[in-house]
Chains A and B, each alone.
Chain A
Amino acid sequence: MNWSELDTWIVITGVLICAACALPGAFLMLNRQSMLGDGISHAVLPGLAIAFLLTNSREVLPMVIGAVAAGVLTAVLTQMVQRLGQVESGAALGVVFCALFALGLILIRVASDKVDLDADCVLYGSIETAVVDVGRVPRVALISGGLLLVNILLTLLFYKELRIAAFDPALATTLGFNADAIRLGLTVVASVTTVLAFESVGSILVIAMLVVPAAAASLLTHRLHWLLLFALGFAALSAVLGHIGAVTLPQTIGRWFGQSDLGATSSAAMMAVAAGGLFLVAWLVAAIRGWTKSNPVKPIETTMSPASHR
Chain B
Amino acid sequence: MNATSLETLPLAVRDLNVAYQSKVVVWDADFDAPAGKLVAIVGPNGAGKSTLLKASLDLIPAASGSVRFFGLPYRKARHRVAYVPQRESVDWDFPVSAVEVVAMGLYRRLGWCMPVRHKHREMARAALVKVGLGDFATRQISQLSGGQQQRVFLARALAQDADLYLMDEPFASVDAATERAIVEVLRELRARGKTVVCVHHDLPTVPEYFDHVALLNMRVVAQGPVAEIFTTENLRKTYGARLTLLEEAAQAVERARVAAQHRS
Where the two chains meet, the residues of A that have a C-beta atom closer than 8 Å to any C-beta of B are: 30, 32, 157-161, 163-164, 166-168, 170-177, 218, 221-224, 226-227, 293, 296-299, 301-302, 304-308, 310
Contacts and interface: CB of A to CB of B under 8 A. Distances in A.
Interface of B: 54, 57-59, 75, 78, 81, 83, 85, 89-91, 93-97, 100-101, 104, 107-108, 110, 112-116, 129-133, 135-136, 140, 142-145, 148, 156, 175, 177, 180-181, 184-185, 187-188
Given A170-B89, A175-B107, A222 B148 contact: no
Contacts of A221: 95
A53 B208 CA distance: 71
A172 B89 CA distance: 13
Contacts of A170: 54, 59, 83, 85, 89
B130 A308 contact: yes
A298 B89 CA distance: 22
Contacts of B145: 299, 301
B91 A307 contact: no
B83 A32 contact: no
Contacts of B133: 302
Given A167-B91, A306-B130, A223 B59 contact: no
B94 A30 contact: yes
Given A160-B110, A164-B107, A223-B97, 12 more contacts: A157-B113, A168-B90, A170-B59, A174-B78, A176-B75, A177-B107, A177-B112, A222-B97, A299-B148, A301-B177, A302-B135, A308-B185
A136 B81 CA distance: 58
A158 B113 contact: yes
Contacts of A163: 96, 100
Pairs of residues from A and B, 9 with the lowest C-beta to C-beta distance, nearest first: A222-B140, A306-B181, A299-B145, A175-B108, A308-B188, A304-B177, A306-B132, A174-B83, A297-B143
Contacts, number: 112
20 contacts: A30-B95, A158-B113, A159-B115, A161-B113, A164-B104, A168-B104, A170-B59, A170-B89, A175-B78, A176-B75, A176-B78, A177-B108, A223-B95, A223-B97, A223-B140, A293-B142, A302-B135, A304-B132, A306-B130, A306-B132
Main secondary structure of the interface of A (DSSP, over half): loop
Given A160-B116, A177-B107, A167 B132 contact: no
B177 A302 contact: yes
Contacts of B59: 170, 173-174
A30 B91 CA distance: 9
A84 to B, nearest CB: 10
B144 to A, nearest CB: 5
A48 B129 CA distance: 55
Nearest to B112: A161
B132 A305 contact: yes
